[in-house]
Amino acid sequence: MFARTICGEGFPDFWAKRVIGKHPVCINRLVDIKLDKYFNAVNVCFDMDKFGFQVDDNGDYLISDCQTKNFAMYYTSKQSMAAFRALYKNEHGIQDAFVNYWDVTTEHLFSNPYVVGFDPLNEPFMGNMLKEPRLLTPKYMDQTELAPLYTRLYNEAYTKHDPEAIMWFEPNQFPD
Protein backbone atom coordinates (compact mmCIF):
# COMPACT_ATOMS: atom_id res chain seq x y z
CA MET A 1 0.00 0.00 0.00
CA PHE A 2 1.07 3.56 -0.45
CA ALA A 3 1.09 5.56 2.81
CA ARG A 4 -0.20 5.67 6.37
CA THR A 5 -2.80 8.23 5.29
CA ILE A 6 -4.54 5.40 3.40
CA CYS A 7 -3.87 2.46 5.74
CA GLY A 8 -0.54 1.67 4.19
CA GLU A 9 3.12 2.30 4.71
CA GLY A 10 6.11 3.55 2.83
CA PHE A 11 5.57 7.05 1.55
CA PRO A 12 5.69 9.95 4.02
CA ASP A 13 2.35 11.54 4.87
CA PHE A 14 3.32 14.93 3.48
CA TRP A 15 3.91 13.41 0.03
CA ALA A 16 0.75 11.33 0.12
CA LYS A 17 -1.38 14.30 1.16
CA ARG A 18 0.20 16.48 -1.52
CA VAL A 19 -0.44 14.08 -4.39
CA ILE A 20 -3.87 12.88 -3.23
CA GLY A 21 -5.23 16.35 -2.49
CA LYS A 22 -8.27 17.22 -0.41
CA HIS A 23 -10.91 15.90 -2.80
CA PRO A 24 -9.56 13.06 -4.95
CA VAL A 25 -11.69 11.89 -7.85
CA CYS A 26 -11.73 8.82 -10.02
CA ILE A 27 -12.98 10.36 -13.27
CA ASN A 28 -14.30 13.78 -12.26
CA ARG A 29 -16.60 15.01 -9.50
CA LEU A 30 -19.80 14.89 -11.58
CA VAL A 31 -19.19 11.49 -13.15
CA ASP A 32 -18.11 10.04 -9.81
CA ILE A 33 -21.39 11.17 -8.24
CA LYS A 34 -23.47 9.85 -11.15
CA LEU A 35 -21.75 6.45 -11.07
CA ASP A 36 -21.51 6.15 -7.30
CA LYS A 37 -24.00 3.27 -6.93
CA TYR A 38 -22.19 1.29 -9.66
CA PHE A 39 -18.79 1.98 -8.11
CA ASN A 40 -20.09 0.85 -4.73
CA ALA A 41 -21.46 -2.37 -6.24
CA VAL A 42 -17.95 -3.35 -7.40
CA ASN A 43 -16.09 -1.68 -4.52
CA VAL A 44 -14.08 0.88 -6.50
CA CYS A 45 -13.76 4.65 -6.36
CA PHE A 46 -14.68 5.02 -2.72
CA ASP A 47 -13.40 7.48 -0.19
CA MET A 48 -11.37 5.97 2.65
CA ASP A 49 -13.56 7.87 5.10
CA LYS A 50 -16.41 5.48 4.31
CA PHE A 51 -14.98 3.00 6.81
CA GLY A 52 -15.39 5.40 9.74
CA PHE A 53 -11.90 4.57 11.05
CA GLN A 54 -10.52 6.54 13.96
CA VAL A 55 -7.52 8.76 13.27
CA ASP A 56 -4.40 9.57 15.27
CA ASP A 57 -2.87 12.98 15.95
CA ASN A 58 -1.41 13.09 12.42
CA GLY A 59 -4.80 12.42 10.84
CA ASP A 60 -3.77 8.88 9.87
CA TYR A 61 -6.18 6.00 10.33
CA LEU A 62 -5.39 3.87 13.35
CA ILE A 63 -3.50 0.73 12.39
CA SER A 64 -5.83 -1.35 14.54
CA ASP A 65 -8.79 -0.07 12.49
CA CYS A 66 -6.97 -0.56 9.18
CA GLN A 67 -6.27 -4.18 10.09
CA THR A 68 -9.98 -4.95 10.37
CA LYS A 69 -10.18 -5.08 6.56
CA ASN A 70 -8.14 -6.93 3.96
CA PHE A 71 -5.49 -4.42 2.87
CA ALA A 72 -6.08 -5.22 -0.81
CA MET A 73 -9.46 -3.51 -0.50
CA TYR A 74 -7.78 -0.13 -0.01
CA TYR A 75 -6.08 -0.24 -3.42
CA THR A 76 -9.28 0.77 -5.21
CA SER A 77 -9.97 3.80 -3.03
CA LYS A 78 -9.90 7.24 -4.62
CA GLN A 79 -6.89 8.09 -2.50
CA SER A 80 -4.85 5.05 -3.48
CA MET A 81 -5.61 5.36 -7.18
CA ALA A 82 -4.64 9.04 -7.09
CA ALA A 83 -1.41 8.31 -5.24
CA PHE A 84 -0.24 5.55 -7.58
CA ARG A 85 -1.16 7.60 -10.64
CA ALA A 86 0.87 10.50 -9.24
CA LEU A 87 3.89 8.25 -8.74
CA TYR A 88 3.82 6.90 -12.28
CA LYS A 89 3.11 10.30 -13.87
CA ASN A 90 5.54 12.18 -11.58
CA GLU A 91 2.80 14.55 -10.46
CA HIS A 92 4.09 17.09 -7.93
CA GLY A 93 7.57 15.60 -8.46
CA ILE A 94 6.82 12.52 -6.38
CA GLN A 95 8.62 10.15 -8.75
CA ASP A 96 11.67 12.39 -8.57
CA ALA A 97 11.54 12.19 -4.76
CA PHE A 98 11.11 8.40 -4.95
CA VAL A 99 14.21 8.07 -7.13
CA ASN A 100 16.14 10.41 -4.80
CA TYR A 101 15.10 8.27 -1.82
CA TRP A 102 16.46 5.15 -3.51
CA ASP A 103 19.61 7.02 -4.52
CA VAL A 104 20.38 7.91 -0.89
CA THR A 105 19.34 4.48 0.37
CA THR A 106 21.51 2.69 -2.19
CA GLU A 107 24.47 4.94 -1.46
CA HIS A 108 24.35 3.91 2.20
CA LEU A 109 23.65 0.22 1.65
CA PHE A 110 25.47 -0.85 -1.52
CA SER A 111 28.63 -1.92 0.29
CA ASN A 112 26.78 -3.88 2.98
CA PRO A 113 27.51 -7.57 2.34
CA TYR A 114 24.10 -8.54 3.71
CA VAL A 115 22.22 -6.52 1.09
CA VAL A 116 22.05 -8.58 -2.06
CA GLY A 117 19.54 -6.50 -4.01
CA PHE A 118 16.81 -3.91 -3.97
CA ASP A 119 13.03 -4.21 -4.45
CA PRO A 120 11.76 -0.70 -5.09
CA LEU A 121 8.01 -1.24 -5.05
CA ASN A 122 6.18 -4.12 -3.42
CA GLU A 123 2.95 -5.16 -5.14
CA PRO A 124 2.61 -2.18 -7.47
CA PHE A 125 -0.93 -1.18 -8.31
CA MET A 126 -1.93 0.18 -11.69
CA GLY A 127 -3.22 3.53 -10.53
CA ASN A 128 -6.51 4.88 -11.80
CA MET A 129 -8.00 2.35 -14.18
CA LEU A 130 -11.28 4.28 -14.26
CA LYS A 131 -9.58 7.35 -15.69
CA GLU A 132 -7.25 5.26 -17.87
CA PRO A 133 -9.05 2.02 -18.83
CA ARG A 134 -6.06 0.95 -20.99
CA LEU A 135 -4.34 0.06 -17.72
CA LEU A 136 -6.61 -2.99 -17.59
CA THR A 137 -5.04 -4.36 -20.78
CA PRO A 138 -2.55 -7.11 -19.92
CA LYS A 139 1.09 -5.92 -20.09
CA TYR A 140 0.11 -2.31 -20.84
CA MET A 141 0.72 -1.05 -17.32
CA ASP A 142 3.98 -2.97 -17.00
CA GLN A 143 5.31 -1.61 -20.30
CA THR A 144 4.11 1.99 -20.14
CA GLU A 145 4.34 2.85 -16.43
CA LEU A 146 6.39 0.32 -14.46
CA ALA A 147 9.20 -0.39 -16.93
CA PRO A 148 10.13 3.30 -17.31
CA LEU A 149 10.02 3.77 -13.52
CA TYR A 150 12.13 0.68 -12.91
CA THR A 151 14.60 1.69 -15.63
CA ARG A 152 14.94 5.14 -14.12
CA LEU A 153 15.51 3.71 -10.65
CA TYR A 154 18.07 1.22 -11.90
CA ASN A 155 20.01 3.81 -13.89
CA GLU A 156 19.74 6.83 -11.59
CA ALA A 157 19.93 5.19 -8.18
CA TYR A 158 21.13 1.60 -8.06
CA THR A 159 23.93 1.40 -10.64
CA LYS A 160 25.07 4.93 -9.83
CA HIS A 161 26.63 3.52 -6.67
CA ASP A 162 27.17 -0.08 -7.73
CA PRO A 163 27.38 -1.02 -11.42
CA GLU A 164 26.59 -4.61 -10.47
CA ALA A 165 23.53 -3.76 -8.36
CA ILE A 166 20.69 -6.24 -8.43
CA MET A 167 17.10 -5.03 -8.60
CA TRP A 168 14.15 -7.29 -8.03
CA PHE A 169 10.86 -6.08 -9.32
CA GLU A 170 7.29 -7.17 -9.67
CA PRO A 171 4.77 -6.68 -12.43
CA ASN A 172 1.49 -4.95 -11.89
CA GLN A 173 -0.73 -7.11 -9.67
CA PHE A 174 -3.76 -6.98 -11.94
CA PRO A 175 -4.58 -7.98 -14.68
CA ASP A 176 -1.12 -9.50 -15.28
Point out the residues that are catalytic.
123
Burial of 90 (0-12, 13-18, 19+ CB in 10 A): middle
CA dist 129 → 73, 90, 119 (Å): 15, 17, 24
In sequence order, what are the beta bridge partners of 61?
55
Question: Could you report how far apart the first and last alpha carbons of the chain are, in Å?
Answer: 18
